[in-house]
Structure 1
Amino acid sequence: MHHHRPLLTLATAMFAIGTDSFVIAGILPDAAQALHVPLTTASWLLTAYALTYALLGPVMATLTTHWPRRTLFLTGFTLFTTGNLLTAYTPHFGIALTARALAGLGGAMITPAAVAAATALAPPQRRGRAIATVMTGLSAATALGSPLGTAIASLTDDWRTTLLFVTTLGLLAAAGTALYLPTLPTPPAIPLRTRLTPLTDHRTGLTLLTTLLAYTGLYTVYSFIGPALDRATHDNGTTLAALLLAWGLAATAGTLTSGPLTDRYGSRRVINTAITLAAINFALLPWTSAHLPTTLAALLIWGLCGWGLLTPQTHRLITTRPTDAPLLTGLASTAVYTGVAAAPLAGQAALTWHGPHWLGPLGATLLILSLGTAEAAHTTIHRRTESAPR
């Protein structure tokens, strides 16, 4: 029982960090207006957080190896909450951008440490479950954090309230860490070069490239979700929040069902089906997003397929190099968030050319490319397995 409180605290931390990466998309038009910048410029607020979070995760894990765990968590939470408060209350776009990166740095310090702490807290036979509990915080953030944040902004008529909500989550997780986290042994030092070694293996590299392309495609539309769905929502924030909640619940269902499906049918079939369905769905978005019922259907398919891709992709990664599992899960997360960071940049180009309703086909193109790399990864893995000494 004594493991439950620290694990729940760590899950709350992951919920706060996950919410922060997705929440800005729902309030982007309001943030752009308040900071006196065009929508395309404001989308850098998404990139600043996601890119810092993605790229500095492995770096911070290396640099902070010898820090006591509690010090590490509390430093991370301090940066995270400071970044969010600064974003909410600065009138200057440049400062807001730096503040988003600061919050991302806090997140980059906490995530690898939270997964490692979950592993250390649980006995060996319950480790998988402990890691899953902590990581559920991230997927719950997709399901609940983003719609909650959008709804809060809509109800209070102030986008800054959303950032205060995320700050409060961060403070709760920090308090929980200070109160409940037992003294944990510092993990063994792993040099950065070792952390990045799996990238030189073609099987791993192609699998991670698939994740990167797929999530850039999936988040191209999400980054500008308000304008992309404005015909269905009639610019009503509460309707958008309800649609995001449906998307998030479908994402959670996708996460939960993809594990058993991967065990039953193998990762290749689940990966290819999820990417293909998502690509078709996105190609049709210029037409489906014009009406509320078809928009809802499109979001349900998107949530199921988009988040149903993560488990079989992680499974494929770990089965190629089982001994590198902890490093690979870190790299998988880096690939997802680099995609999330790159998506607004890809979306900016499409917005300039064709407007927000045509973001879907751009996402579909990136998804089709990811299907190509997924098949290349499968072929490379298959070839390596056949030529392996028996």
Structure 2
Amino acid sequence: MTSPTHTEAPVRWRPHTAVLAFGAFAVGTDGFVVAGLLPSIATSLHVSVAAAGQLVTVFSISYAVLAPVLAALTASWPRRRVLVTALAVFAAGNAITALAPSYDLVLASRVVAAAGAALFTATASATAALLAGDRERGRAISIVMLGVTTALVLGAPLGTLIGGLADWRAAMWLVTALALVAAPAIGLRLPSATGQGNGDLRAFLAPLRNRRIVGLLVTTVVAFTGIYIPYTYVSEVFAPAYAGTSGLAVLLLVYGLSGTVGNLTAGHLADRYGPRRVIVAVTLILAAAFALTPLGRGTLGAAVAIIMIVGFLSFSVTTPQQHLLITLAGPGSGLITSLYQSALYLAVSLSGGAGALALEGWGAAHLPHLAAVLMLAAATLTVANGTRAGQTPRSSDILT
């Protein structure tokens, strides 16, 4: 199968994208499940929970740093080889985590797993967009991201359950097995698609000369720092609304389910109305939802309603942003999506630190207010970035 042209969308791209989504499910499960296993990891490795939490930090930082570097080094490889290699590295990292007898080795293994995860997720999104063509690009990306949201709804709870029934190492073996199932499926089913680039590490600097791409990456950091602050501290934000872990589990389940619907809806809307229009609308509405979030802290029913709205909107940002980045970048979009993943994981790291400072200084009730301010900033940056340098703003610049 030849690579699709810029305007021609191939038929039957959905089955291939579904295979990529399964790989994203494996990667996403790893990213979400570790946080739920921290107490048992800490006990097993004889470290504090805070020290065990550094496994998440190391994974996020490694992901952010390695994503563009690995994308540049593999830019000339066939996409199928990149994806299979990424899952193999990811599986190896998780296998080492499961076998490691010491904290230091577990910490190092998270770097290996992050390398595979970063390379896979960025390449999968770009490959799905390539296979679908211009007209259905948003829907293709949303299907890949469906694997991530499904990991939040199904994979993480399943891994946590297995970790509770057996131990945390069994959960890591589950993640390893998922990757080992996805790799041959992608290797056998994905059509041939050639890479764009010559494997020069300096290539990853080229997109950073485009001010609109840089602006969108900065917007990504701002937006997702705002999105992840309330999510990271959801147990504190909604503490008055629930009693025990069952109430929190309900909130997280609702968040994941509504986020899945939001992700798929955003893909359709981005194809129909243009990604920038969707980003501006969603970030503005999300700012209002965060501003009203403290009103839902009193009862579980109100908290569920707020979480449903926030989850839907939060997962409606990532697909349009990747859609817009790929549109701006053209050829070599795998490199662009890797930079997007770096920005996303930088936001995850910043949200933990900024949220902790705000929690200590202002209290849990005001964390959503900080998130609302950041969403307004993201909307403003998105509109400003739509204006081409040296030109009078036009609606096509701002909204398409």
Please, what TM-score do these two structures have when normalized by structure 1? 0.79
Residues 1:200 and 2:188 aligned together: no
Match of 1:214 in 2: 223
Residues 1:169 and 2:178 aligned together: yes
Distance 1:275 1:169, change over 3 A: same
Mapped to 1, the partners of 2:362 and 2:52 lie a distance apart of 18
**What is the one-letter code of the residue matched to 1:52?**
S
Match of 2:286 in 1: 278
Q: Which runs of 5+ in 2 are unaligned?
A: 1-10
Q: Which runs of 5+ in 1 are unaligned?
A: none
TM alignment of 1:234-313, pairs within 5 A:
234-236=243-245, 238-262=246-270, 266-286=274-294, 288-313=296-321
Mapped to 2, the partners of 1:356 and 1:296 lie a distance apart of 17
Q: How far off its partner does 1:63 sit? A: 1.8
Mapped to 2, the partners of 1:265 and 1:279 lie a distance apart of 21
Distance 1:367 1:31, change over 3 A: farther
On the 8 A contact 2:237/2:297 being kept in 1, the answer is yes
Match of 1:370 in 2: 378
On the 8 A contact 1:251/1:303 being kept in 2, the answer is yes
Q: How far off its partner does 1:85 sit? A: 3.8
Residues 1:145 and 2:155 aligned together: yes
On the 8 A contact 2:13/2:132 being kept in 1, the answer is no
Please, what TM-score do these two structures have when normalized by structure 2? 0.77
The alignment's C-alpha RMSD in Å is 3.9
Q: How far off its partner does 1:324 sit? A: 5.9
Mapped to 1, the partners of 2:12 and 2:279 lie a distance apart of 38
Mapped to 2, the partners of 1:313 and 1:71 lie a distance apart of 26
Residues 1:223 and 2:232 aligned together: yes
3-state SS in 2 of match to 1:383: coil
Distance 1:301 1:8, change over 3 A: closer
Q: How far off its partner does 1:384 sit? A: 6.5
3-state SS in 1 of match to 2:244: coil
Aligned length: 384
Mapped to 2, the partners of 1:4 and 1:267 lie a distance apart of 20
Residues 1:102 and 2:109 aligned together: no
Distance 1:39 1:231, change over 3 A: farther
3-state SS in 2 of match to 1:308: coil
Structure 1 residues 136-182: Cα deviation after superposition (integer angstroms, max 9, x where no partner): 3234334433344445556x375544433322211221343455557
**What is the one-letter code of the residue matched to 1:49?**
F
Structure 1 residues 184-239: Cα deviation after superposition (integer angstroms, max 9, x where no partner): 65654253443332323222222221111111121123334445545444332x54
Distance 1:252 1:2, change over 3 A: closer
On the 8 A contact 1:216/1:339 being kept in 2, the answer is yes
**What is the one-letter code of the residue matched to 1:259?**
G
Distance 1:234 1:292, change over 3 A: same
Match of 2:121 in 1: 111
Mapped to 1, the partners of 2:388 and 2:81 lie a distance apart of 43
Deviates more, 1:101-110 or 1:16-25: 16-25
